[in-house]
Structures are given as C-alpha cells and as structure tokens.
Structure 1
C-alpha cells in the first residue's frame, strides 16, 4: 500500500471515529447539521491537499509520495477520497 492510501485510510478512520464518538447526530440538541459537517470536510480536504503542494521532495518521500502523486491528489475533486 502506498503512502497516499495510508493517508486516505487514516483520514477516513478519523472521520468514522468522530462520528461514532458523538453518537447519533440527531440525538443531541444543538448538534451540527449534516450539511455543515460536509462543508467542514470539504474545507479540510481542500486545505490538506493544497498543503501537499508546499512539501519538499524529501517530505513527500517521508510520507511515501512522489511529486506526481501529490499533484494528482491536489487536483482531485473535493468529494473524492
């Protein structure tokens, strides 16, 4: 498994843990609405993908990505994991 897949899996695992820790979304008064959560996920993906462009080749190598893999990830649509 390459570094990109590891990053995606760990990000998805974090999202799942946050969902399970909070219980059912509608069971809590004042809970964040699903649309707001999706918007927050959009911004998180956008900023972390843009951060890949600022990494040096050595930093990319540390996380197991080539420059081309990082560029491909940056230009993915925000809704794709």
Structure 2
C-alpha cells in the first residue's frame, strides 16, 4: 500500500469509532439498548413509562423522582422523548 491509502484507512477507522461513540451517547440519552429499532424503542418506552407509574413512594425516592415527575413522564405518549 502507498502512504495515501494508509492515511485513508486510519481516517476511516477514526470516523467509524466516532460514529459508534455518537450512537452510544444517543442510546444512553434515551436510556434504551442501542440494538433496538424504532418499534423496539417505542415498545421499550411504553413499558418503562407504565412501570414508572406503578412505583411506590420508596422506590421513587430511590430513583430520585417526585410523584409529580414520575406521573409527568409516565403519562407521555410513547412516541415522545
């Protein structure tokens, strides 16, 4: 290989690594597994929001949420972030 090809491969691998890092940040931001597609993400949101509405006062304290915050998040439609 010539030097130009080596530079291209290095830059391409850095771009791939940066893209994976961005995808991981997005997954953490939405608090869902990164392997989920759109419908899987909707399903995940629906069930986790339903579960949030069923938490006791002690469990909400452990999570660090008030009843009002949990209710506001739990009543959001599944398609909203």
TM-score by length of 1: 0.56
RCO greater where, 1 or 2, for CA within 8 Å and sep 6 or more? Answer: 1
Deviations 1:6-58 (A, max 9, x none): xx73605x43xx48xxxxxxxxxxxxxxxxx1111101000000001111001
Give unpaired runs (5+ residues) of structure 1. Answer: 1-7, 20-36
Are 2:29 and 1:9 aligned? Answer: yes
3-state SS of the aligned residue for 1:77? coil
* Alpha-carbon offset, residue 79 of structure 1: 1.9
Q: Which has the larger radius of gyration?
A: 2
Superposed counterparts of 1:24-63, under 5 Å: 37-63=37-63
Alignment root-mean-square deviation, CA = 2.1
Could you list the runs of 4 or more consecutive aligned residues of structure 1 that deviate by over 6 angstroms after TM superposition?
none
Count of aligned pairs: 54
- What are structure 2's unaligned runs of at least 5 residues? 1-27
